[in-house]
Chains A and B, each alone.
Chain A
Amino acid sequence: GAVVSQHPSWVICKSGTSVKIECRSLDFQATTMFWYRQFPKQSLMLMATSNEGSKATYEQGVEKDKFLINHASLTLSTLTVTSAHPEDSSFYICSAKGGRGSNQPQHFGDGTRLSIL
């Protein structure tokens, strides 16, 4: 149980392109979803938190106009990297948490490797 599917796994695109990444909770309702960015050999950096039906809460330093997050249903959140540039190349990981209790673990997708040429 508690499976999170993230798509696509790999994206290679030209500079200036917008890229959408999907995160789905397959067997539970995700009241909260999180988007992280991970640089090589580093820990996860939280970018934003989204609750279903409301606007995402972005971490300090994360451009909300650059990284658009939509959490329209209890099983789907999307991250759109708008007008991507080479510095946006990274490993993006989503996670989802069900229920309202704070002791529930986050369940992670397998990540999306984004390479901007």
Chain B
Amino acid sequence: AQSVAQPEDQVNVAEGNPLTVKCTYSVSGNPYLFWYVQYPNRGLQFLLKYITGDNLVKGSYGFEAEFNKSQTSFHLKKPSALVSDSALYFCAVRGDYGGATNKLIFGTGTLLAVQP
């Protein structure tokens, strides 16, 4: 069965410092991995995805994520955090390989709090 784990409920970082939001996954076959961000009372915004190719994926708002097959991880990173980055971050993996539904399996979310 496909699954995604986000081990940290909350990550606190000072503005200007690098940030990392962790994600590990378990799938059969090749993973399709996604990061989304959610601001209060809003839907999810797509940040980036890994399908194939370079392990380092660059996305919106200066975020990037590194796919590590041996560690089955897809951590989200940013070199310098902004207060406006404070939000809820979801990692997701595509489930049901070979099926027609293309369901996303979401992690439980990590709240990122950037202090000024």
Contacts and interface: CB of A to CB of B under 8 A. Distances in A.
B43 A103 contact: no
A91 B41 CA distance: 8
A43 B108 contact: yes
A97 B46 contact: no
B109 A43 contact: yes
Interface string B15-53: 000000000000000001010100001111110010100
The 5 closest A-B pairs by CB, nearest first: A108-B43, A108-B44, A103-B51, A110-B43, A105-B46
A103 B49 contact: yes
Interface in B73-90: 90
Nearest to A108: B43
B41 A46 contact: no
A46 B102 CA distance: 12
The secondary structure that dominates the A interface is strand
A57 interface: yes
6 contacts: A97-B102, A103-B32, A103-B51, A106-B104, A108-B45, A110-B42
Nearest to A59: B103
A117 interface: no
Nearest to A32: B102
A30 interface: no
